[in-house]
């Protein structure tokens, strides 16, 4: 489904940047090895198996290389100048090479030969848009590997995106082939950001529609389907692009995509950086394994840039200012999802009684009993809490179980990590809870599900209940139905995918 909420877009934007950096860092220790020497997929981690002779042995696991650093240089330049200023970008590249700007620990390694030559030309005073070597044999993947942040940042026409993608290539890679590969990757990335299922084909179609006479035969060369059979994960720009397509075509999730890229061998960090960025867009930030997010070094370099990217690419609603919102000033709102085949209904809301002084949307100072009374008066007999134990404490709602009991509400605790989806432990717990809730719905009782903000986890589990209670055949239709009563519900891409998987699972069981 195409991206339809601000929350999904933000999830994809963060996923694109994290995915690029994580893919790069994962690929670093496997670089320069032929495919037959690469470990099995399940063994590919930041730290390779003990018997593997890893590249860049002095580099701590989880460190991105020149790919990630140059991508951050580009993104920071775009955010600081609010446009593509190729001279400013080129100076940033020199700062990276000479000072370690945007490099983890300020340490620069793995600079490509062509990029090194271009930087030398810049130091000698060459104009930024003519510094990159432009011979046909000078089509390495150094511009392609860094260009995706442009697609994350850019919000205007496809025509301008193509022009800017080609222009950012010029400081290091001047040949038309490199420029057009960058343009296609940005269009492909835009399609992934929008949630198009035909993302590659859409990008190809748009590039053809925008074709210029001065591109010569290069467009036909880069779009030749024969490139697919020759994808080998090398440092040649065309090979990198088509290797990425090969990996993305077979990708079931982020993990499989980047591991497939590394399994191609050769220029593993760059292939995995390109694939990781695209897979991060497709599967979202919460579709990236948490161990890789936590194991990525250099997180301090992202503390400022990630929020700026998200606010630029997908601005939030204005934050509530003034006094904290209370149960009196802002009575608990319960979105109602009617079930066609059952007399009961499902309610979706945020955490009753929560207290937050630094919430993204503004401060909360709610009354737990007042909120639960509103839930009871709505018609609920059951309350399903999806927040984790630490969140219960942080939101100061430790009395939730006893307060529910005092009002005749049956309380169920089925915690899910924020932004994520149920795991095996949750499924085991839910197997006992779901029949009770379905029975209540059969009897015409209400079931209220809540998380912290009442969007991601609560919206997802509302979908799960509807799937179990009804004959749901369209996940798209169900998600839109839930969002029609609770705008923004089902908040991340991984949650959307879970709804699709649940529809398939329940249909098979029935």
Which two structure tokens, joined as six digits, stand for 362?
């503004």
CA angle 263, 268, 272 (to 5 degrees): 85
- Coil, helix or strand at residue 323: coil
439: annotated binding-site residue?
A: no
Q: Is 397 exposed, middle or buried (0-12, 13-18, 19+ CB in 10 A)?
A: buried
Q: Are 367 and 329 in contact (CB under 8 A)?
A: no
Residue 249 annotated as binding site: no
Distances (CA, A) of 14 to 130, 277, 460, 463: 32, 10, 20, 25
Residue 416 exposure: Cα atoms within 13 Å on the Cβ side: 31
The C-alpha atoms of residue 239 and residue 4 are separated, in whole angstroms, by 33
Token pair 């492909």 in the structure block, residue = 188
**Dihedral over alpha carbons 422, 426, 430, 433 (to 10 degrees):** -120
65 is in an annotated binding site: yes
**Are the CB atoms for 100 and 56 separated by under 8 Å?**
no
CB 266 within 8 A of CB 235: yes
Structure tokens at 423: 């795991």
Residue 402 is assigned to a ligand binding site: no
* Residue 269 marked as a ligand binder: yes
Alpha-carbon span 276 to 32, nearest angstrom: 19
Judge whether 16 and 152 are in contact, CB under 8 Å: yes
Check the annotation: does 367 bind a ligand. Answer: no
Cα–Cα distance measured from residue 335 to residue 459, given in angstroms and rounded to the nearest whole number:
10
- Structure tokens belonging to residue 435: 């029949």
Beta-carbon count within 10 A of 495 CB: 29
How far apart CA 384 and CA 258 sit, in angstroms, is 36
Q: How far is CA 337 from CA 7, 373, 395, 438, 465, in A?
A: 20, 19, 26, 14, 10
- Provide the annotated binding site for Mg(2+): 65-67, 267, 269-270
- Provide the annotated binding site: 65-67, 267, 269-270
């Amino acid at each position: 489904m195409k991206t339809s909420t601000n929350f999904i877009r933000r999830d994809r934007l963060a996923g694109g940047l994290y995915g690029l950096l994580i893919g790069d860092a994962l690929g670093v220790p496997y670089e320069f090895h032929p495919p037959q020497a690469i470990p099995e997929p399940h063994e590919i981690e930041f730290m390779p198996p003990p018997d593997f002779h890893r590249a860049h042995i002095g580099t701590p696991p989880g460190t991105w290389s020149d790919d990630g650093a140059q991508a951050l240089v580009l993104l920071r330049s775009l955010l600081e100048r609010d446009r593509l200023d190729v001279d400013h970008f080129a100076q940033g590249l020199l700062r990276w090479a000479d000072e370690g700007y945007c490099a983890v620990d300020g340490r620069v390694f793995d600079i490509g030969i062509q990029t090194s030559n271009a930087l030398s030309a810049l130091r000698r005073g060459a104009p930024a848009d003519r510094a990159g070597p432009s011979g046909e044999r000078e089509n390495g993947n150094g511009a392609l590997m860094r260009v995706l942040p442009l697609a994350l940042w850019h919000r205007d026409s496809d025509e301008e995106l193509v022009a800017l993608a080609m222009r950012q290539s010029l400081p290091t890679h001047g040949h038309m082939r490199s420029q057009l590969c960058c343009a296609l990757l940005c269009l492909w990335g835009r399609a992934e950001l929008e949630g198009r299922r035909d993302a590659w084909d859409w990008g190809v179609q748009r590039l053809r529609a925008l074709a210029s006479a001065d591109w010569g035969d290069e467009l036909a060369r880069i779009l030749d389907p024969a490139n697919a059979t020759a994808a080998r994960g090398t440092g040649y720009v065309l090979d990198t692009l088509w290797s990425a397509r090969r990996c993305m075509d077979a990708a079931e999730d982020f993990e499989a995509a980047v591991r497939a890229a590394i399994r191609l061998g050769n220029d593993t960090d760059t292939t995995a950086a390109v694939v990781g960025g695209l897979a991060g867009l497709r599967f979202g930030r919460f579709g990236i394994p948490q161990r890789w997010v936590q194991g990525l070094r250099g997180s301090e370099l992202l503390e400022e840039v990630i929020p700026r990217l998200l606010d630029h690419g997908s601005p939030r609603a204005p934050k509530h200012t003034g006094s904290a919102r209370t149960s009196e000033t802002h009575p608990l709102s319960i979105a109602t999802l009617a079930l066609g085949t059952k007399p009961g209904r499902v309610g979706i809301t945020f955490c009753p009684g929560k207290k937050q002084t630094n919430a993204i949307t503004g401060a909360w100072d709610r009354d737990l009993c007042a909120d639960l009374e509103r839930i009871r008066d709505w018609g609920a007999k059951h309350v399903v809490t999806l927040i984790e134990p630490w969140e219960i404490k942080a939101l100061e709602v430790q009395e939730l179980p006893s307060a529910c009991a005092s009002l005749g509400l049956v309380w169920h605790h089925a915690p899910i990590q924020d932004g994520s989806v149920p795991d095996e432990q949750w499924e085991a717990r839910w197997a006992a809870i779901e029949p009770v809730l379905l029975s209540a719905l059969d009897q015409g009782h209400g079931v209220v599900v809540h998380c912290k903000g009442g969007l991601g986890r609560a919206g997802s589990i509302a979908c799960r209940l509807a799937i179990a209670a009804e004959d749901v055949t369209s996940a798209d239709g169900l998600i839109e139905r839930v969002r029609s009563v609770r705008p923004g519900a089902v908040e991340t891409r991984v949650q959307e995918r879970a709804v699709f998987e649940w529809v398939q699972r329940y249909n098979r069981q029935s």
